Structure 1
């Protein structure tokens, strides 16, 4: 007899944490999990502009060890454990110019945010998941792990490549103990931040935002789908991966890039 799956309320009773969950893809993921019935905790350095009172917000800088410790302590104190961990936080603030302009501080900041923050959170929550024999961890990486933009985001790309490797190895260790670990590697996502960036490029180049968008897609080597992803499209993939419908999926990287990467 086939097991029926229902998308409505399928995460009822689950506690989910989404890092970087106040905007962009993180917000879309948090909203998607809430719609599926999960109790959602979000964390970021600053509170969301439009606060969702049904989501538990924790202010923390996950680029620092004390920030991740704060989040782990507050979640465990409030809920006693965690069922779903979405390590979505990531980003790059390094200047363009390639290797020559990068400092040790640039490398350290990228590694702290994009690799060590998720590793610390995993370490904080995994003992509770393992003790119950269940849990799902998603690491949000990037296609830059395979297609780095060396002129502008070299440390970010290196950190994301390390995250992909770490995620696979973690899966090998904890999947036999009941915890699924997966990686999602998005391409370009048209968040509000990306929209503002397109506006700045258009203003600087005295062109339109549509032309600015096309120029960025060309810089990425082209997006066969013809446009960046929407945050909700990435969130829908995450919603499936953490659900009972994906119960046999672990140790795998899922690329959602509209066909950007030419080979796998």
Structure 2
């Protein structure tokens, strides 16, 4: 008999955690899962600025770059909701200075690896026992095309951490997929978030150019985006929404790139 799914409410009864869920792609993912019927928890260092997020989501304040922050999230989720079905390891980013490898110190590397690689590893380790006990669950690691297309000027630690995350995600999937837990990686290219828009405004002001010209200059630095523009957060969220749904139940151990064709190789 062929299965039928209610796409509008297909995550009803599911408990989902989205790290870095207050802005950008994380916010869009949280909203997408909520729309599909899930109970959604979001975590970040600071409270959401959007009052609607405060009403619709269970927010946990935590610095996930530190082990005590991840432990706070793990304990509160399991204490409050008793289980977790979907874990979106979205938190990440780069704050290292430009100038290439020679300006980067140990602290730059360590801070970036803590946020982009060790934080998801700790969360997986904390939540996997509950998923394995119920013999079901989905873990999504949000990586980056920089895992395969590193930019050396300012984001080399970020690129290296994301490459490690992609490798780790594949290995973890081999261990737990047979036990009912699916593990997948989503690697976006450049996403036009609110922060990206502000950056384009600063570049345009500095170069005395238009925002369109600033955007094109960044796309050129990436080697071009064949689709002609960065992605929108909602486009990344839609892919994640599909991957965590029952419709994708045979998918595990795979990296899904959403970059408008930016990576030029197979």
Q: If the length of structure 2 is used for normalisation, what is the TM-score?
A: 0.99
Question: How far off its partner does 1:211 sit?
Answer: 0.2
Deviations 1:85-111 (A, max 9, x none): 000000000000111000000000010
Residue of structure 1 aligned with 2:57, choices 55, 58, 64? 55
Structure 2 residue aligned with 1:20: 20
SS across alignment from 1:137: strand
Unpaired runs of 5+ in structure 2? Answer: none
Q: Residues 113-163 of structure 1, C-alpha deviation per residue, up to 9 Å, x if partnerless?
A: 000000000000000000010000000000000111101100000000000
Secondary structure of the corresponding residue to residue 123 of structure 2 = helix
Match of 2:248 among 233, 242, 246: 246
Q: Please report the RMSD computed on the Cα atoms of aligned residues, expressed in angstroms.
A: 0.5
Does 2:149 correspond to 1:147? yes
From 180, 196, 199, give the equivalent of 1:197: 199
> Secondary structure, in 3 states, of the residue corresponding to 2:127?
helix
**Residue of structure 1 equivalent to 2:29:** 29
CA drift of 1:246 comes to 0.1
Match of 2:235 in 1: 233
Pairs within 5 Å for 1:1-264 = 1-51=1-51, 52=53, 53-264=55-266
What SS does structure 1 have at the residue aligned with 2:56?
coil
- 1:21-43 Cα offsets, whole Å, 9 max, x none, are 00000000000000000000000
Stretch of structure 1 that moved more, 244-253 or 52-61: 52-61
SS of 2:185's equivalent in the other structure is strand
Structure 1: state its 5+ residue gaps.
none
1:54 to partner: Cα distance:
1.8
CA distance in 1, matches of 2:120, 2:68: 13
CA–CA separation in structure 2 for the residues paired with 1:98 and 1:41:
37
Give the drift of 1:81. Answer: 1.2
**How many pairs were matched up?**
264
Bigger CA drift: 116-125 or 48-57? Answer: 48-57
Task: Give the Cα separation in 2 of the matches to 1:239 and 1:49.
Answer: 24
Give 3-state SS (helix, strand or coil) of 2:7's partner: coil
Report the alpha carbon displacement of residue 6 of structure 1 after superposing the two structures with TM: 2.4
Q: TM-score normalized by structure 1? A: 0.99
